[in-house]
Amino acid sequence: MLSSVIRGRMMVTAKRPLNYVWFSSSTDQTGKKAEQAMQLALQKQLDAVHVKVTDVSGGCGSMFDVQVVSAQFIGQSRVKQHRLVNEILKEEIKSMHGLTIRTMTPQQFQEK
């Protein structure tokens, strides 16, 4: 093992790079099932023209990115739009670690 001194502190440096292996106790299907359930709920309750739910946790279903395009968002503040999505997904959110929500009106979606 090699050691270096950086600003008065000793730091241990390995001779070769460290390898990291990530493990998940869940299968990819956990995230896929949750994606599908959330997508259906959002499409149905918001009459959405576009919904994309992506599991960004590596398949374990703990973090999601949600994109929703709905005419119900017209005239609503971004906060109110997100509250609508949160209300629809409140049961799913209980078991999540994180959620990113992006909402748009149909006009905003076409301009994008």
CATH number at residue 104: 3.30.300.90
Range of 100's domain? 26-111
Residue 112 per-residue DSSP state: -
Q: Count up the domains in the chain and report the number.
A: 1
The pLDDT score that the predictor gives to residue 34 is 86
Tokens 């017209």 belong to residue = 74
Predicted TM-score (pTM) of this structure:
0.71
What is the per-residue pLDDT across 39-73, written as a single tens digit (0 to 9) for each?
A: 999 999 999 999 999 999 887 888 999 999 999 99
More confident residue, 26 or 43: 43
Convert the pLDDT of each residue in 34-46 to its tens digit: 899 999 999 999 9
| Domain membership flag for residue 6 | no
- Asked if residue 58 lies in contact with residue 92, where contact means CB atoms within 8 angstroms, the answer is no
Determine, yes or no, domain membership for 49: yes
